[in-house]
Amino acid sequence: MRDRGREASSTKIRAEPVTPLVRRFASSALLACGLLFVFFGLSAALGFNASGFAASLAVIAALVYSGAVWFAPRLPSTGPLLTMPVLFDGEGRIAAGPCLGQSLALQFPGSLRSEVDRCRSAALAGTPARFSGDLHGRAVAFECLPVRRADGSIVYGVLVAAEPIGAGDAASVL
C-alpha cells in the first residue's frame, strides 16, 4: 500500500522555460548597460576629451572581442574528428578513442559515407578493402582491415589512413 503523503511530496514542480527571445533581449540589455558604464566611466576618469573617448572605445572593443572569443559557440569541423587508426565494431560504431560509440560513416562527408560503409562491411566479412577520398583538400587513401581473434573469428575492424596520394593515383585506388 502506498503512502499518499509521500507520493504528493515527491512531485516535481517545473518552471516554464525562458524563451530564446527573452534571453536575447536580456543579454542585449546587459551588454548595452555594460558598454555605457565602461564608456562613461573611462571618459570621466580620463576626461571628456578626444583621448578619453578613444581609450573608452579601445577598451570596449577589446572587451567585446574577448567575450566573443571566449563565449561564442565553436564552429563544427569540416573533416573527420578521428585519430587514426580507428577501431570499429560489427555495428559500424567506433570502439575506442574520443569518438567512442559514434557511427564511423558519420565522421566523414556525405559523399564518402557509402564508400566507408562498403569498406567497413568488407573488412568485417574478412576481406581488406580500400577507398580514397578528399580529406582537407588532399586525396587520401584509406584501408579497412579485419581484426581477428586467436580462433580466426573477426571481432573488430580497423580503418587506417595511408599517405596522401597524387591526383593521378586516386582513380587507381578505387
**Residues 98 and 169 reside in one and the same domain:** yes
Is residue 9 one of the residues assigned to a domain?
Answer: yes
- Domain boundary residue, one of 40, 71, 102: 71
pLDDT: is 94 or 12 the higher one? 94
Against a cut of 0.75, is the pTM above it? no
**Residues 124 and 149 reside in one and the same domain:** yes
Angle (CA) 114 169 167, round 5°? 90
- Domain boundary residue, one of 46, 71, 96: 71
**Residues 91 and 148 reside in one and the same domain:** yes
**Residues 66 and 113 reside in one and the same domain:** no
**Residues 121 and 62 reside in one and the same domain:** no
pLDDT: is 14 or 118 the higher one? 118
**Residues 64 and 107 reside in one and the same domain:** no
Domain carrying residue 24? 4-71
- Phi, psi angles (nearest 5°) of residue 157: -130, 160
Is residue 78 one of the residues assigned to a domain?
Answer: no
The shares of helix, strand and coil residues in the chain, as percent rounded to the nearest 5, are 45, 20, 35
The arrangement of strands across the sheet holding 86-88 comes to 86-88, 154-164, 138-148, 129-135
**Residues 92 and 150 reside in one and the same domain:** yes
**Residues 168 and 119 reside in one and the same domain:** yes
Number of folded domains that form the chain: 2
**Residues 129 and 167 reside in one and the same domain:** yes
Is residue 38 one of the residues assigned to a domain?
Answer: yes
Q: Please write the tens of the pLDDT for every residue from 53-99.
A: 788 888 888 877 777 776 766 655 544 455 678 889 989 898 888 88
